[in-house]
């Protein structure tokens, strides 16, 4: 089990050793979007999801007293890229904000949640109707995932996981060169063999493009007061010595991050981050990490290896330090164990999310310190998803 972590750690060190050192401001090319990001975009949409859940999904002999079918849902185009004037490709994720619930099935006085999620890769074709208004159509491969439940060892609602098409259409109003307002409809077919109904989402949202920046903005970014190191190598330590109060606060009291049913006792993380773009107020990094964890329940050992995007936002600049907020979501991750503390995590593939506040310290900003939270989840793209909760983590690093 330790061998994959050692190999990943050695790879991270090699990447760090081979990376170029931070440049002088006059030669800093990271103030313009690189080819990977130029003409790329992401979007966030909210709307109404419709699907016909009923007693038809229940096995014969089972009846629910009541059902809740919430209709508020979100769609995120996690990453898209425009290849030409009319043609784009994107990775999409859709889920309801609150899941369908079956209540008091055969008098058991329990609430049974049915978690559904949809993912997909679609191709998009759009055409201008007016100078500011475009129409688009999309289509591609989608994946539908739905959890189920049992009562007294008998399957009441079976799990569903299958590939299907994902199609959609809509309008885009070009508010600014980098901002579109979207109005769209998305359709995912059902599957009779799983008693999974078809799904329709009607949504409205915003799309943000990373357009090539004007020369004046590029020059302004080069001379920003806040420094963005080109490379960072860091070592983090996670511990539940202060319990999970911080996790609970930010996942339930102020729900801005994620919790999890599997708790981690402690862990170590080695990661490397490479800055690929920065403005005067925020930065985009690409990172890779290798981690060693021990669970809270059965003291089981497992490792994770991740690659991830990171957004870093300026909080305050002083002579002694630069302070920031860092946020990363949906970093693809390999996990060495799929059963932890008796809970099925879904598969060996999952996603890493983390949030933290930190600072670059010293006259040359040579040192990095950060305090944050981490979470692993497959986003319900598999039929089980308890989530792995990582306690408060202290990270120290060197920049170059």
Per-residue model confidence as pLDDT tens digits over 168-191: 999 999 999 999 999 999 999 999
Largest Cα–Cα distance of the chain, in whole Å?
Answer: 74
| Whether 47 and 187 share a structural domain | yes
CA distance 111 to 239: 33
User: What residues contact 236, with CB distance under 8 A and at least 6 apart?
Assistant: 268, 269, 270, 271, 370, 393, 394, 395, 396
| Whether 7 and 132 share a structural domain | no
CA neighbor of 327 nearest in space, from 305, 351, 357: 357
Please say which residue of 157, 191, 210 terminates a domain.
210
| Whether 94 and 21 share a structural domain | no
Number of structural domains (the chain) is 2
| Whether 18 and 81 share a structural domain | no
| Whether 44 and 19 share a structural domain | no
- The pTM assigned to this predicted structure is 0.83
| Whether 224 and 297 share a structural domain | yes
| Whether 163 and 52 share a structural domain | yes
Question: What CATH code is carried by the domain that includes residue 240?
Answer: 2.40.160.20
CA distance 378 to 385: 6
Say if residues 47 and 75 touch (Cβ distance below 8 Å).
yes
* Structure confidence at residue 13 as a pLDDT band (50, 70, 90): low
Q: Can you read off the two tokens belonging to residue 181? A: 């307002």
Please say which residue of 177, 210, 243 terminates a domain.
210
| Whether 205 and 220 share a structural domain | no
Predicted pLDDT of residue 79: 95
Predicted pLDDT of residue 254: 67
Q: Can you read off the two tokens belonging to residue 219? A: 């020059």
Q: What's the pLDDT tens digit per position in 274-289?
A: 999 999 889 999 999 9
Say if residues 120 and 96 touch (Cβ distance below 8 Å).
no
Please say which residue of 210, 239, 265 terminates a domain.
210
| Whether 320 and 249 share a structural domain | yes
Q: Which residues of 186-212 are buried (b: 16+ CB within 10 A; e: fewer)?
A: bebebbeebbbbebebbbebebebbbe
CA distance 286 to 144: 29
Predicted pLDDT of residue 398: 96
Q: Which residues of 279-291 are buried (b: 16+ CB within 10 A; e: fewer)?
A: beeebbbbbbbbb
Full residue range of the structural domain in which residue 197 is found = 40-210
| Whether 261 and 204 share a structural domain | no
CA distance 228 to 49: 41
| Whether 54 and 30 share a structural domain | no
Q: With the C-alpha atoms ordered 228, 375, 384, 245, is the resulting torsion angle positive or negative?
A: negative
Q: Can you read off the two tokens belonging to residue 47? A: 């709307």
| Whether 198 and 222 share a structural domain | no
């Amino acid at each position: 089990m330790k061998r994959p972590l050692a190999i990943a750690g050695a790879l991270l060190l090699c990447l760090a050793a081979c990376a170029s050192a931070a440049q002088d401001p006059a030669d800093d090319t990271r103030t313009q979007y690189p080819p990977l990001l130029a003409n790329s975009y992401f979007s966030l949409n909210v709307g109404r999801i419709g699907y016909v859940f009923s007693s038809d999904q229940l096995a014969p002999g089972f009846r629910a007293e009541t059902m809740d079918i919430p209709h508020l849902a979100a769609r995120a185009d996690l990453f898209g890229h425009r290849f030409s004037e009319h043609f784009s490709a994107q990775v999409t994720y859709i889920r309801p904000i609150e899941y369908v619930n079956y209540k008091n099935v055969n008098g058991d006085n329990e609430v049974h949640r049915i978690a559904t999620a949809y993912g997909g890769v679609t191709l998009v074709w759009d055409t201008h109707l007016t100078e500011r208004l475009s129409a688009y159509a999309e289509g591609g491969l989608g994946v539908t995932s739905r959890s189920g439940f049992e009562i007294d060892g008998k399957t009441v609602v079976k799990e569903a996981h299958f590939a299907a098409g994902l199609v959609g259409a809509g309008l885009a109003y070009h508010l600014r060169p980098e901002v579109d307002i979207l109005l769209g409809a998305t359709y995912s077919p059902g599957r009779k063999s799983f008693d999974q109904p078809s799904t329709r989402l009607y949504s409205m949202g915003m799309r943000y493009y990373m357009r090539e920046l004007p020369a004046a903005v590029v020059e302004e970014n080069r001379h920003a007061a806040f420094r963005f190191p080109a490379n960072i190598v860091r070592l983090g330590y996670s511990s539940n010595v202060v319990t999970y109060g911080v996790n609970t606060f930010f996942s339930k009291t102020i729900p801005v991050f994620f919790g999890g049913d599997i708790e981690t006792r402690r862990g170590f993380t080695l990661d490397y981050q490479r800055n690929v773009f920065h403005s005067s107020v925020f930065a985009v990094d690409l990172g890779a990490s290798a981690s060693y964890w021990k669970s809270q329940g059965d003291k089981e050992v497992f490792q994770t290896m991740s690659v991830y995007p990171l957004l870093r936002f300026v909080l305050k600049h002083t002579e002694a330090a630069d302070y920031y907020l860092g946020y990363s979501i949906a970093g693809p991750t390999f996990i060495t164990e799929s059963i932890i503390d008796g809970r099925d995590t879904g598969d060996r593939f999952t996603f890493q999310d983390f949030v933290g506040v930190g600072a670059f310290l010293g006259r040359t900003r040579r040192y990095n310190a950060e305090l944050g939270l981490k979470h692993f989840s497959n986003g319900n793209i598999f039929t089980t998803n308890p989530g792995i909760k990582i306690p408060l983590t202290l990270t120290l690093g060197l920049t170059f």
